């Protein structure tokens, strides 16, 4: 038998899933500015710390938790989104090394996806604006399935659309909600220390590893992690 004539099938690498805001894109100051604008003149609104604690959950649910009455939610969401639409391109940028790291992972054969609390349309705009979209074939937003993070369904949906299972899969995120969603879905989790939440808050969610720079992610995937959860 001529073994040289047989097709060579290389094992498929496990997928990597990313949160978006605070993980791939440096938008936390922008998010806080939009929240302040939404509640301006409304009375007592959320503090920055209170808003950061909810990053990673859907906007409407986050705003509803601070609205005085449910009838105010639509207006507050509209004010937030108006600010976001007007200032998005000026205030949205990828973290240093994020585009290069994601591009390298894609080139290495890693299936990639974004799992975000943004709606899909907003996530696509951000990914397109920052140059990340060509490397991310699957984008799961808050409106992609019935239950958003921290429920595991968005993570499971991303894996399904990638045609991948949980074995070896990794979810990288900067909030406890990301870590909770990944753990509940049965994937390994890496806490991004460069995003919205500090190490102490992330440690309470018990990630499998911590990472202080996205450019170190390829090494972390190979086992060279900064620390273990």
pLDDT in tens, 50-78: 999 999 999 999 999 999 999 999 999 99
Q: What would the CATH number be for the domain defined by 16-26+94-228?
A: 3.40.50.1000
User: How high is the pLDDT of residue 11?
Assistant: 59
Of 2, 19, 48, 178, which is the active-site residue? 19
Provide the pLDDT confidence category of residue 105 given band limits of 50, 70 and 90: very high
Task: Locate CATH 3.40.50.1000 in the chain.
Answer: 16-26+94-228
Identify the three-state secondary structure at position 169.
Answer: coil
Candidate from 2-16, 21-35, 113-127, 213-227 with smallest mean pLDDT: 2-16
Tell me if the domain spanning 28-91 has CATH number 1.10.150.
Answer: yes
- Closest C-alpha to 202, from 169, 171, 177, 220: 177
| Strand 188-192 to 170-173 pairing | parallel
Q: If 0-12 CB within 10 Å is exposed, 13-18 middle and 19+ buried, where does residue 124 land?
A: middle
Q: Quick one: how far is CA 151 from the chain centroid? A: 14
Question: How large a percentage of the chain has pLDDT more than 70?
Answer: 92
Indicate the average pLDDT of the chain.
Answer: 92
21 is catalytic: no
Q: Answer yes or no: is pLDDT of 33 > 90.
A: yes
């Amino acid at each position: 038998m001529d073994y040289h004539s047989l097709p060579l099938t290389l094992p498929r690498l496990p997928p990597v899933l990313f949160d978006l805001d605070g993980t791939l894109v440096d938008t936390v100051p922008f998010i806080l500015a939009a929240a302040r604008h939404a509640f301006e003149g409304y009375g007592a609104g959320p503090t920055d710390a209170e808003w950061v604690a909810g990053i990673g959950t859907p906007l409407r649910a986050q705003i509803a938790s601070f609205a005085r009455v449910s009838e105010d939610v639509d207006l507050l969401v509209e004010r937030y989104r108006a600010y976001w639409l007007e200032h998005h391109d000026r205030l949205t940028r990828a973290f240093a090394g994020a585009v290069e790291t994601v591009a390298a992972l894609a080139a290495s054969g890693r299936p990639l996806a974004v799992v975000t609390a943004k709606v899909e349309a907003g996530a696509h705009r951000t990914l397109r604006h920052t140059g990340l979209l060509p490397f991310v074939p699957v984008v799961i937003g808050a409106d992609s399935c019935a239950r958003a993070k921290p429920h595991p369904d968005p993570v499971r949906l991303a894996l399904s659309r990638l045609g991948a299972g949980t074995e070896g899969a990794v979810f990288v995120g900067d909030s406890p909600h990301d870590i909770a969603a990944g753990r509940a879905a049965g994937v390994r989790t890496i806490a991004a220390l460069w995003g919205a939440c500090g190490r102490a808050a992330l440690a309470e969610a018990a990630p499998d590893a911590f990472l202080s720079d996205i450019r170190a992610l390829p090494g972390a995937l190979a086992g060279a992690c900064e620390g273990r959860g």
